Structure 1
């Protein structure tokens, strides 16, 4: 009987000993915070908007605007002439030493009378002429109040035939009589040309529509609801200049670019507040920011892989990490490690996310056990609470965001390769290497904010 009791006691001792070699921990879980969606405003940026206006577009629009009868004088009593002038054929426009040369083919109906009115008796000889001719006009170009303005001067009027009449049986040229009447309608033609060009070249609606498209928030990452919003501040423009068969001017949008996480934000574009300011030149480069978004789920998977096949401990007491989970609390990152080995259960670490520019990795500074976890480890597994074990674990609590940076860059590049938000408007540009700025946490993801230098051209090419 004593022998049986002795053997039973030894079995109980060994069972207790074997059970006590694998300890369990049930540390208090730090519950995640509701980190509100964030708004991050970047420094001031410039978007260069070169305006290229082809003379062919001006020609087309002017021909649409100026048609049919362009001058009419039905009173023959004041100067013995009645005249009607029509545009005969399409207007031709070209560059002449930095000015607009307009060639206007026209036809004229002219009624001219010769005679006298004496003692109440009218003795008149009235003749009618149908003439063809060409008017050449030269225009200076300027930019004012969103419009391409011209100051036009009629330089010449060449008739295709010399008008003549018969007086007392003789053929008499009357060009010397008709050409002075040009003074009567030259100002009318000049004004018509200026008004037609001004009307067709009011590019304010085109520019504002393009800006509205640019300033409408667009989604950079659908999964994590990342939006980029351009907020205009001022719009600048340089003087209009001729470059071969185009008129060029540079416009530049001074703005901020905000990265927002969450639902689609409202636009901050108000066309009534956009003022055009003249400047000598535009900045060549732009600075903007993009967001490299890493979900806690994706980051957890990567860090879990880092722990694969590794043991942590002291002496014969070792654990392996089976799974990693991340979330946010009080501005810190919580890292939950599911352990198996000499200690079973879940332990919690906290630290501040940081970024290593050289390796493009996110790591966690001031990493330590959560308060309740540390207390439990001190009592049950002090070997795991020791600093060198924590340092070994910390080495694996890191992950590269290089894929996220590349994804963010590619998201931007989609809008910089001849992207056309509307007919006649094209967006092109380049992006240099990206530079890290800061990390912020949301309830969904870790957001790494990246500064990007580059250039963006929004070209308005083709007037509809």
Structure 2
């Protein structure tokens, strides 16, 4: 009897020892407690094509802000017997004319001129005030985001014929004024060209737009998922004047990142972005984004698959009550809490993959975690070597269809009349997502997906 008791005691101690050893080894597989550090997943470089339209009205508005009040001042009377100040009296108007810009510039001209002869001091000066309109014709070029023009004064018309009172008589002086103005035609045209170049440098506006688009925004409140666009390079073609709009193609090379946790910082750096002039930009958007499944959310979805299901082989049967997931060494550990013929937890490992038809994440090369030995292994052999394991494996999957939709929704704000700043509007379309690959991290399973589409940007009504 004592020997039987001793044998039973040894067996009990062996079972206890194996149980404790199993617990320690399985616990070692579990990840460290998660923290709130944002996770960054870098996808392949994305390319965004955005044909850009700038209305002539917008250029007109910017030009009127630059050219306000006095636009010309010649205070030297001695060099050509004329002083002149030119002031803009009404807004400048721009219209397209045969592929060029016609500028209509209403002006008020104050002039002092000296006439007569210096012989014995027989000369005099007179001041006149004139109102008229200059008409300029400009060739247009936009290179590296800056619009430039080469303008010529085509005509100038007075609101009323200039005249001056001399010796009691109204003496027309158009013949004096017009040749004098001719001297300054090139100077006035140059003033207009300089003003257009200074007011129509759109690079700062583009950088402001990119900074706004780079601000991370929340795509999933439940999982605290953030989407962030990081510009790398900007390409632009030379512009063309088409009726009432300046048109060019803009290309944006960027990275798209998805982060989980606290809101990431916007590390946008204007100085780090390269601007490159090109002759052609591809006409579509290629976006690479990441659909994230945290282990907690994936485990909940897989647990739901097992609800109400019983797995049996002969007289033995089990029911999976709960599923846990984490990663270890590039594989996913699947913890299955069971009741029935096995009361406890078994651990499987597998490699995640993607079913393009069902849009599900499933696990390949599924196997039992064999770093536990003893009573659990011996008892579970019937489960692990038969058809039951295959049935369990079939249920260890979950759909990321909602993740894909969330990924698509994360880009939609950029496509539906998105206005990152006043007067700038972004519109576009997007095709369905295509799966690329699955990766695992310490916090999530990530499905990398791609899509294509089109975008356009219109500038009209900026401050």
Instruction: Determine the structure 2 residue equivalent to 1:362.
Output: 361
Deviations 1:221-278 (A, max 9, x none): 3443433333333211111211222212222112232334444445453212333322
Instruction: Determine the structure 2 residue equivalent to 1:96.
Output: 97
Instruction: Determine the structure 2 residue equivalent to 1:215.
Output: 214
For residues 276-287 of structure 1, the aligned pairs below 5 Å read 276-287=275-286
Structure 1 pair 335/145, CA: closer, same or farther in 2 (3 Å)?
A: closer
Query: How far is 1:371 from its partner?
Result: 0.9
Contact 1:92/1:103 (CA < 8 Å) preserved in 2?
Answer: yes
Structure 1 pair 38/403, CA: closer, same or farther in 2 (3 Å)?
A: same
Structure 1 pair 231/403, CA: closer, same or farther in 2 (3 Å)?
A: closer
Which has the higher mean CA deviation after the structures are superposed, 272-281 or 390-399?
272-281
Query: How far is 1:282 from its partner?
Result: 1.5
TM-score (structure 1 length as normaliser): 0.85
Cα distance in 2 between the residues matched to 1:223 and 1:247: 44
Cα distance in 2 between the residues matched to 1:115 and 1:193: 34
TM-score (structure 2 length as normaliser): 0.85
For structure 1, the 5+ residue unaligned runs are 1-22
Over the aligned positions, Cα root-mean-square deviation in angstroms equals 3.0
Contact 2:140/2:241 (CA < 8 Å) preserved in 1?
Answer: no
Q: Flag the structure with larger Rg.
A: 1
Cα distance in 2 between the residues matched to 1:455 and 1:203: 22
Cα distance in 2 between the residues matched to 1:221 and 1:237: 34
In the alignment, structure 1 residue 55 sits paired with structure 2 residue 53: no
Which has the higher mean CA deviation after the structures are superposed, 26-35 or 55-64?
26-35
Instruction: Determine the structure 2 residue equivalent to 1:321.
Output: 320
Which has the higher mean CA deviation after the structures are superposed, 181-190 or 126-135?
126-135
Secondary structure of residue in 1 paired with 2:279: coil
Cα distance in 2 between the residues matched to 1:434 and 1:182: 64
Structure 1 pair 176/300, CA: closer, same or farther in 2 (3 Å)?
A: same
Secondary structure of residue in 2 paired with 1:417: coil
Contact 2:360/2:398 (CA < 8 Å) preserved in 1?
Answer: yes
Instruction: Determine the structure 2 residue equivalent to 1:229.
Output: 228
For structure 2, the 5+ residue unaligned runs are 1-14
Instruction: Determine the structure 2 residue equivalent to 1:185.
Output: 184
In the alignment, structure 1 residue 139 sits paired with structure 2 residue 138: yes
For residues 57-456 of structure 1, the aligned pairs below 5 Å read 57-118=58-119, 121-124=120-123, 126-164=125-163, 173-267=172-266, 269-372=268-371, 376-456=375-455
Structure 1 pair 152/178, CA: closer, same or farther in 2 (3 Å)?
A: same
Which has the higher mean CA deviation after the structures are superposed, 267-276 or 281-290?
267-276
Secondary structure of residue in 2 paired with 1:52: strand
Instruction: Determine the structure 1 residue equivalent to 2:6.
Output: none
Deviations 1:158-212 (A, max 9, x none): 2233335678998764322321111332222112211221222122221111112
Secondary structure of residue in 1 paired with 2:442: coil
Cα distance in 2 between the residues matched to 1:442 and 1:75: 75
Structure 1 pair 366/339, CA: closer, same or farther in 2 (3 Å)?
A: same
Query: How far is 1:40 from its partner?
Result: 3.5
Query: How far is 1:383 from its partner?
Result: 2.4
Query: How far is 1:448 from its partner?
Result: 1.6
Cα distance in 2 between the residues matched to 1:298 and 1:246: 50
Structure 1 pair 244/306, CA: closer, same or farther in 2 (3 Å)?
A: same
Instruction: Determine the structure 1 residue equivalent to 2:10.
Output: none
Deviations 1:23-67 (A, max 9, x none): 999554353135997543333322233332222222223223223
Secondary structure of residue in 1 paired with 2:223: coil
Structure 1 pair 104/380, CA: closer, same or farther in 2 (3 Å)?
A: closer
Cα distance in 2 between the residues matched to 1:110 and 1:458: 46
Secondary structure of residue in 2 paired with 1:190: helix
